[in-house]
Amino acid sequence: MKGHTDPGFDRELSDLPPDMRWREWMRRIEAVLFASASPVPRDDLVRVVGQGVSVDLLVGDLAADLEGRAFEVVPVPDGWMMRTRPAYGPAIRAAADMGAQDLDLRPFDVAVLAAIAYHQPITRDGLRDIFGREINRDLIGRLHTRGLISTGPRAPRRGAPYTFVTTEQFLVAFDLQSLADLPDQEQMEDAGLDRF
């Protein structure tokens, strides 16, 4: 059950000297982040450290402790996650079949995803207006199946079209903390992607 703490679990660690206590809290956070397949919210980390202890400071110290290692702690919306540093991606791909972990997006898939990110919530008609052609339902399905988009708000009238928005998984997959981290219009134009 989420949030359940063993009654014998000592959060405070008052029997340890302050420096060892801090180090143990860092290791607890490291263990939780390492074991989790998804981002870990702040409230979950608060449950493994002492009363009034700053999770932000502990995570900052853990990130500094991991400097120069193959793993890093990254902030994501509403929490943190541990991941392999991007520089080690080729080594991992060379050693293991990564299969389903690769997003395997075609350039047009990425373009549609970018249009959704920049114009959300957006309908299929809105996407058609941007690209000058109908957007295939299969493409929308692929992006949805990969968890990169979801249905967004819908007008409260009968027959209103569905809209699409990006998800937290989109932010994680593209190493963004929020949509504010998307490149600005000038950067998009410089990259030759000015149609969004």
Give the residue-averaged pLDDT of 167-175.
85
Residue 100 has pLDDT above 70, yes or no: no
| Per-residue pLDDT, 4 | 58
Question: Which residues are CB-contacts of 59 (< 8 A; sequence separation ≥ 6)?
Answer: 29, 45, 73, 80
Mean pLDDT over each residue of the chain, to the nearest integer: 85
| Per-residue pLDDT, 102 | 60
Percent of residues in the chain assigned helix, strand, coil, to nearest 5: 45, 10, 40
Q: Categorize the per-residue pLDDT at 13 as very low, low, confident or very high, splitting at 50, 70 and 90.
A: very high
Cα–Cα distance, 126 to 165 (Å, whole number)? 12
Cα–Cα distance, 75 to 81 (Å, whole number)? 7
Max CA separation in the chain (angstroms): 68
If phi > 0 it is left, if psi is from -120 to 50 it is alpha, else beta; for residue 132 that is left
Residue ranges covered by each domain of the chain: 18-88, 103-190
| C-alpha torsion sign, points 110, 112, 116, 118 | positive
Q: Domain 103-190 belongs to what architecture?
A: Orthogonal Bundle (1.10)
Structure-token match 């207006």, residue found: 129
Cα–Cα distance, 57 to 63 (Å, whole number)? 10
Output DSSP code: residue 110. Answer: H
Same fold, 18-88 and 103-190: yes
Q: What is the pLDDT of residues 18-68, one digit of tens each?
A: 999 999 999 999 999 998 878 899 999 999 998 999 999 999 999 999 999
**121 cis-preceded (ω within 30 degrees of 0):** yes
CATH of domain 18-88: 1.10.10.10
Judged by average pLDDT, the poorest of 27-31, 47-51, 70-74, 152-156 is: 152-156
